[in-house]
Amino acid sequence: MNKKFVAVFWLLVLTFLWGLTFPIQKLVLVEEVSPFLYNAVRFWIATILSAFMFRKSDWKRGVILGVVMGIAYATQTWGLTITTSTKSGFITSLYIVIVPFFSFLIEKEKIKPLQVVGFAGAIVGMYLLSSGGLTGFNFGDFLTTICGVMYALHVVLITHFSKETSEYSLLTPQFLTVALLNTFLNFFYTKPNWSFNLPALGVAAFTAVTATIVAIIIQAKYQRVVGSNISALIFVGEPVFAMVLSMIILHERITLLQGVGIILMMVSIIMGVVETKEK
């Protein structure tokens, strides 16, 4: 089987895992559980497991990735306390169309015409998926914009660093940096809040393994095969999977406009796959 299509398959699996985190985390993240503490627990678990399984670590590249990811998580969490979840989801997902800029700056990867169409369709699709609830721009939106930029940079840096070192060596330093940052930030979260329930611990452990350790391994192993731009188009599926899984798990419903948005985003993913075939 063509290695590029194997890469596309695993990146879609990764996208599914990311999408799954939204409904299952919503089930357990109640008011008494601090989002910073939840992130800290998730990444402490990931740090311990990855350190036990993979002894070799690239601290220089791993810490850089950890700082970028840590800022992304922190600004998203902080921003979500100020802005709406609808705007947060849409602005965060814009990292997908920021990726080509970092990809060109860091890797000199030029965007292809079909990818331009795909990214344009993704923007419109994500807007429709958010139900157009984007009136006004506040400080929370600004923080979330920083989050989107950091996510885009993280995608490209993983592609770049994985060409220079083993994907497994990037795990422990990255997760430890994010865990430390979120632990520190929790001191400044409202009270601070250190309460944590058993369901939240279970979900944190599950996401630590699937959406953190396994996810980063898949990213580092397969993004370098297809490139950052096509990977970004595949990641358009994250909010699609999140919404479909939320319908199944949380019994949420979608509007006609959201349905059209999902179709546009799926077309964008297909364009990424077609572009892979042409490379």
Give pLDDT tens digits for 9-23: 999 999 999 888 878
| pLDDT tens readout for residues 27-72 | 776 656 788 888 999 999 999 999 999 988 999 999 999 999 999 9
Do 268 and 93 touch, CB atoms closer than 8 A?
no
Considering the entire predicted model, what is its pTM? 0.84
Q: Look at residue 191 in the predicted model and tell me its pLDDT.
A: 65
Closest CA to 128 of 235, 240, 244, 26: 240
How many CB atoms are closer than 10 A to CB 26?
A: 16
| pLDDT tens readout for residues 73-114 | 888 878 877 776 667 777 777 888 889 889 999 988 888 877
Q: Look at residue 156 in the predicted model and tell me its pLDDT.
A: 95
Residues 6+ apart with CB under 8 A from 242: 18, 19, 20, 21, 22, 23
CA distance 88 to 105: 26
Do 40 and 202 touch, CB atoms closer than 8 A?
no
Domain with 165, as residue range(s), is 3-278
CA distances (Å), 128 to each of 80, 123, 266, in order? 20, 9, 13
Do 225 and 3 touch, CB atoms closer than 8 A?
yes
Query: How many domains is the chain built from?
Result: 1
Do 72 and 151 touch, CB atoms closer than 8 A?
yes
| pLDDT tens readout for residues 179-216 | 999 999 888 876 666 777 888 899 899 999 999 999 99
Supply 258's token pair.
């959201």
- SS3 string, 84-111, reads CHHHHHHHHHCHHHHHHHHHHHHHCCCC
